[in-house]
A and B are shown apart, each in its own frame.
Chain A
Amino acid sequence: MRNLVRVQTDDFDLNKEYNRLITTNSTCGAVVLFSGLVRDFIPPQQLVSLELEHYPLMTETMLGKLSMQANARWALQRTTIIHRTGKLLPGDQIVLVGVSSAHRTDAFEAAQFIMDKLKTSAPFWKKETLMPNPDSKPESYWVSAKDSDEQLAQRW
Chain B
Amino acid sequence: MIKVCFFADLRERLGCAELFVQDFSGENINQLKTFIVKQHPHWEKIFLEKKLLIAVNHAMASNDTAIAAGDEVAFFPPVTGG
Contacts and interface: CB of A to CB of B under 8 A. Distances in A.
B45 interface: no
B74 A125 contact: no
Interface in A115-140: 115, 118-127
Interface of A: 36, 52-55, 57-58, 61-62, 83, 94-95, 115, 118-127, 142-145
Given A123-B76, A125-B7, A125-B76, A55 B55 contact: yes
B50 interface: no
Main secondary structure of the interface of A (DSSP, over half): mixed
- Interface size class, chain B: 10 to 19
A80 to B, nearest CB: 15
A55 B79 CA distance: 11
Nearest to A116: B82
Contacts of B8: 53, 125, 127, 142
